[in-house]
Amino acid sequence: MNSQHFIDLDETYSAHNYHPLDVVVERAEGVWVYDVDGNKYLDCLSAYSAVNQGHCHPAIREAAIAQMNRVTLTSRAFRNDQMGPFLQELCDMTGYEMALPMNSGAEAVETAVKAVRKWGYEVKGIPDNQAEIIVCRGNFHGRTTTIVGFSSEPAYKRHFGPYAPGFIMVPYGDAAALEAAITPNTAAFLVEPIQGEGGVVTPPDGYLRETANICARHNVLFIADEIQTGLGRTGKLFACEHEGVRPDVMVVGKALSGGFYPVSAVLTDKEVLGLLRPGDHGSTFGGNPLGAAIGRAAIKVIQDEDLIGRSRDLGAYFKGRLERIESEHIKEVRGKGLFIGVELHVPARRFAEALRERGILVKETHKTVLRFAPPLIITKEQIDWAAEHIEAVLM
Ligand SMILES: *Cc1c(COP(=O)(O)O)cnc(C)c1O
């Protein structure tokens, strides 16, 4: 079967809520994906950083298969022997006291919103139903109705209202604007340390540290959405570490399962998640033994293979190579670790198409930005190969 057959099926039966490149993937291994026509591509998107460990990582696959042969779902009506060890290992790695496991990233963001509101009412003493959460222009936190309601992107929210109240928007990168927006009813500030979907937008140096200090001074919780930037992607375990910031609330997803399965989590100390009582929150699949076994293997790979160090070193190397490309189309190269955005003066789609012709998969984001975020297992030789093609198409 060739690609066109599958493209036709997608176009006929799937809602058209995406505009994918017409590559029909049938299998993948490590940094490589293979399409149904027998072509091979270097993946430079990593499923939006969900496959930081590389596609179908053998250690994660073995853990998944072994767990599938034992038990996959218990629901939280009962306990299982995977969730506790998973959360212990996750807390040990990240330095938080508690975790609440969910599935998709958006669910974890929703969970964080609920947890910080509860903290706002029960610890900070905000009057009932008055809690405010400050968010940033250009944010991306997921696709639920509440979350799109506080997006600044018309495409994400138009005709999906009415929107949930309680969210205040400030410009990204402007710490003074955050401080000015805080009121006695502010429960939390929700921020991405680098705005991924917003176009790999890196805030000014010191922004995270300053905003974290402002939050601490005003008794406001600092929530980092590190669903895309976390777990090694930027050359640190969390991107907030580049500025020495330890968020009060950390949201993770994507690479938490290495792409095998939706696994997300909210991490905090006892002061926040410790407020939740039976009945307050839940998810049929959240904390299930299959997801937990996969999560355990996925974070072990990050540690065992030093993916954080690889991202730091190879990211600096890749970025350096991209910076040296002398193309009239390039406006800016930015990012940290293997999370690199190349902003162009012109729409990026045709360059993504041209790279695909040369065996490299990237996707334009925000029209004019090419995001390069390969699996963190990528080698220097593979980066050299990719950089030559990137240079060639941008000439
Ligand atoms: C992908 C992403 C989400 C949403 O995750 P889903 O699993 O798609 O729901 C939220 N926040 C950020 C920063 C993301 O990159």
What is the model's pLDDT at position 146?
98
Taking 80 as the threshold, does the pLDDT of residue 391 lie above it?
yes
In the chain, where are the structural domains located? 59-304
Taking 80 as the threshold, does the pLDDT of residue 1 lie above it?
no
Cα–ligand 1 centroid distance for 142 (angstroms) = 5
From the number of C-beta atoms within 10 Å of its C-beta (0-12, 13-18, 19+), residue 272 rates as buried
Q: How does the average pLDDT of the chain come out, rounded?
A: 97
Which of ligand 1's atoms lies nearest the C-alpha of 197?
A: 15
Q: For residues 96-113, give the mean pLDDT.
A: 98
Q: For residues 233-239, give the mean pLDDT.
A: 98
pTM, two decimal places: 0.98
Establish whether 225 is a catalytic residue.
Answer: yes
ω before 162 within 30° of 0 (cis)? Answer: yes
Q: For residues 165-192, give the mean pLDDT.
A: 98
Q: For residue range 304-324, what is the model confidence (pLDDT) as tens digits?
A: 999 999 999 999 999 999 999
Cα–ligand 1 centroid distance for 5 (angstroms) = 30
Q: Which residues line ligand 1 (CB under 6 A)?
A: 48, 104-106, 109, 140-142, 192, 196-197, 225, 227-228, 253
Cα–ligand 1 centroid distance for 141 (angstroms) = 5
Q: For residue range 147-173, what is the model confidence (pLDDT) as tens digits?
A: 999 999 999 999 999 999 999 999 999
The structural architecture, per CATH, of the domain 59-304 is: 3-Layer(aba) Sandwich (3.40)
Per cent of the chain over pLDDT 90 is 98
The answer to whether 267 and 250 have CB atoms below 8 angstroms apart is yes
Give the closest residue to 251 by CA, choosing from 297, 189, 294, 335.
Answer: 189
